[in-house]
């Protein structure tokens, strides 16, 4: 009687080893250094960070300033516009994370990370840390341009730093949306196209460029809860003085909510994709 042939079960796929907090921080630090070295080797990648704040500040002050503040009174518009532009700058730089992640997959960079014993989330967090650094540079240039055009700080340096920090927090939260978009779309052009379709209405249906009081009632109701408008109002109050608590709490609530929802989705998509 012949013995039955027994087929051994296929081995279960190896699980990703659990990495502690210290290991995660070490991996994030190493990846941030890698990203910084890439920027050093390709300084043209900082072109948007350096030139965008200068061009936007000059363009909007001298295009919209006369219409809103009156001809010859563009200087008065600077104190309204520049804090608002901090919201737009943080959003535009956050959008670059999605296209960067998409390009890294296309070039095979993520295949290298897949072979390394590192936490998958550390790759995404390192991207965010690097972009926050770029955001700080852009904010410094924008404020410098604002002061050159007549921006007056009516509160204190601590309030100004708080406005910058609030922009960083909200920008970092937005990055999780763009990371998920970059992991989902097939090309970097598609990421940028979809992002612009969503973000253009958010930019202009806000208080970044003009007060919402001139808008129709339905649009004003939307703008009052638009997170970009909340950030612009908070930064403006921190620079010029005035009631700040309501706008700040709304921005922080948006930031926490976006991160709580989008970060787990982005990390799960990243694990599945890699």
Give the model confidence (pLDDT) of 159-177 as tens digits.
999 999 999 999 999 999 9
Q: What is the pTM of this model?
A: 0.83
Q: How confident is the model at residue 37 (pLDDT cuts 50, 70, 90)?
A: confident
Provide the pLDDT confidence category of residue 12 given band limits of 50, 70 and 90: very low
pLDDT digits (tens, 9 = 90+) for 120-173: 678 888 889 998 999 999 999 999 999 999 899 999 999 999 999 999 999 999
Q: Quickly state the pLDDT bin for 254 (edges 50, 70, 90).
A: very high
91-118: pLDDT as tens digits:
888 888 888 888 877 777 776 776 676 7
pLDDT at 15: 52
Q: How confident is the model at residue 1 (pLDDT cuts 50, 70, 90)?
A: very low
Domain ranges of the chain: 23-32+42-273
Summarize pLDDT for 195-211 with one digit per residue, the tens: 888 888 888 888 888 88
pLDDT of 3 strictly over 50: no
pLDDT at 258 over 90: yes
pLDDT at 25: 79
Half-sphere exposure of 102 (CA within 13 A, CB side): 20
């Amino acid at each position: 009687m012949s013995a039955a042939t027994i087929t051994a079960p296929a081995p279960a796929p190896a699980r990703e080893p659990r990495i502690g907090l210290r290991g995660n921080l070490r991996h994030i630090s190493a990846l941030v250094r890698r990203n910084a070295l890439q920027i050093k080797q390709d300084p043209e990648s900082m072109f948007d960070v350096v030139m965008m704040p200068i061009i936007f500040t000059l363009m909007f002050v001298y295009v919209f300033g006369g219409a809103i503040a009156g001809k010859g009174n563009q200087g008065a518009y600077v104190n309204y516009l520049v804090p608002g532009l901090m919201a737009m700058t943080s959003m535009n730089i956050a959008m670059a994370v999605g296209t960067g992640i998409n390009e890294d997959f296309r070039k095979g960079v993520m295949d290298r990370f897949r072979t390394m014993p590192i936490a998958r989330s550390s790759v995404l967090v390192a991207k965010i840390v690097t972009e926050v650094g770029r955001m700080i540079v852009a904010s410094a240039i924008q404020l410098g341009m604002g002061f050159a055009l007549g921006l007056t700080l009516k509160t204190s340096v601590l309030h100004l730093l708080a406005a910058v920090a609030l922009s960083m927090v909200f920008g970092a939260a937005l990055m999780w949306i763009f990371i998920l978009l970059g992991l989902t779309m097939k090309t970097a052009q598609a990421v940028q196209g979809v992002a612009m379709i969503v973000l253009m209405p958010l930019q202009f249906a806000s208080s970044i460029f003009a007060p919402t009081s001139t808008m129709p009632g339905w649009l004003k109701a939307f703008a009052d809860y638009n997170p970009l408008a909340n950030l612009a109002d908070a930064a403006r109050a921190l620079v010029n003085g005035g009631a700040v608590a309501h706008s700040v709490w709304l921005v922080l609530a948006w930031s926490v909510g976006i991160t709580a929802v989008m970060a787990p989705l982005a990390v799960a998509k990243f694990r599945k994709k890699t």
